[in-house]
Structure 1
Amino acid sequence: MQKTHDYGTAWRILRPESITDQIFIKAQRIRTLEEKKVSKVDEDITGEYIGIVNYCIIAMMQLECDENAPVELAADKVSDLFDEKATETKELMFAKNHDYGEAWREMRISSLTDLILMKLRRVKQIEDNEGLTLVSEGIKANYQDILNYSVFALIKLGVK
């Protein structure tokens, strides 16, 4: 809500592919930092995972916005949409955690990063196929998985 106050809904100008690329940039930086173990910019991976969470929600909101919708949306509408997408994704996480027995708790953070990058490649392929899939989940489901992997990483990093 604070960033909406500061920036408005400038993100509305981004095409879905551009949002995917923004998420990719953040995930790739995380992987680079995991491998090199040194950062030359004073920002740790926690902020990057938080950015991925936010961009995933923005991506899901953008997917549902009519292309004729105005670029500027009311802050309360953005807040409601944000909460709706976060809640949907959280419910999916609880359902999957039930079925998978919270396997993520035993995973390495680097594996979560790799899964995010894999899901991003899937999203890019679906986008290149103009959103058409034969048997696979759609773009939104992949964004939800990416968001949840990021939340798992944040939990493992001790973020509350």
Structure 2
Amino acid sequence: MESNTSAQYDEVVKICKEIFLKKTQDYGESWRVLRLPSITDQIFIKARRIRRLEELQGRHKISEGVEVEYSGIVNYCVMALIKLSSVDISEQNIYNNSAWLKSPDFSSNEKSIGELSKQYDAVIAKTKDLMERKNYDYGEAWRDMRLSSITDQILVKTLRIKQIEEHEGQVLVSEGLEAEYNDILNYCVFALIRLKNRHVSENSPPY
């Protein structure tokens, strides 16, 4: 693995986490009312917009570009993985989250944001470990992928998740929901690293 991959990964995730926690301060933890399929749909919408922006090649009418969408997908994946890893949430109400509607207090405070920050870090630690192991096996092949191919992989994996959700999480031989969300998150981080490197290269002085 390239010596700077870990640092680049951490740098990208740090920015995504800052956005996540700032939005929590603004909106509280209202995202917790979302059922897992709703989170998946948000990921799909953002991934589809990224593909649309790639096809438009800069002719889009909304100022937000692909970086915002990739970062948003990272954070939606974190939300999904927090839900999947919560030991006090049964498999049933991951799909039917009515418990949150009975006591809809989504307000945030310093303590709750601190706890959410720890949950975020725990999810990222597992996802990064997976990235490092796959990077070792595949030799950082993602660095040679076109960004459009990364987008397509995200869409494919999102559609797989939607299919798994139709079967209420049951699979025969395929990887489960957690593996798919982990892969999507890592693909988005790869894309953000590539985009950041591209911006640095474009702004570098000529030799």
TM range (shorter): over 0.9
DSSP-derived class of the 2:173 partner:
coil
CA deviations over 1:95-143 (Å, ceiling 9, x no partner): 0000000000000000000000000010000000110001111101100
Distance 2:70 2:153 in 1: 13
Q: Which residue of the other structure, out of 138, 144, 148, is the alignment partner of 1:110?
A: 148
In structure 1, runs of 5+ residues without a counterpart are: none
Q: Tell me the equivalent position of 1:158.
A: 196
- Structural mapping, 1:53-92, within 5 Å: 53-65=74-86, 66=89, 67=93, 68=99, 72=106, 74-92=112-130
Task: Report whether the alignment pairs 1:142 with 2:180.
Answer: yes
**Rounded Cα–Cα distance in structure 1 between residues aligned with 2:124 and 2:30:** 20
CA distance in 2, matches of 1:39, 1:151: 23
In the TM superposition, what whole-angstrom CA distance separates every residue of 1:30-70 from its partner, at most 9, and x where no partner exists? 00010121210011101000001111001111223314576
TM-score, normalisation: structure 1: 0.94
The answer to whether 1:32 aligns with 2:52 is: yes
The equivalent position to 2:31 in structure 1, one of 11, 16, 23, is 11
Q: Which amino acid aligns with 1:25?
A: I
For the residues of structure 2 that align with 1:31 and 1:10, how far apart are their CA atoms? 28
The letter for the 2-side match of 1:77 is E
Amino acid at match of 1:61: I
Structure 1 partner of 2:14: none
TM-score (norm 2): 0.74
Aligned to 1:43: 64
In structure 2, runs of 5+ residues without a counterpart are 1-20, 94-98, 201-207
Give the secondary structure class of the aligned counterpart of 2:174.
coil
The whole-number CA distance in structure 2 between the counterparts of 1:32 and 1:158 is: 20
Counterpart for residue 167 of structure 2:
129
Aligned residue-pair number: 160
Give the match for residue 139 of structure 2. Answer: 101
1:122 aligned counterpart, secondary structure? helix
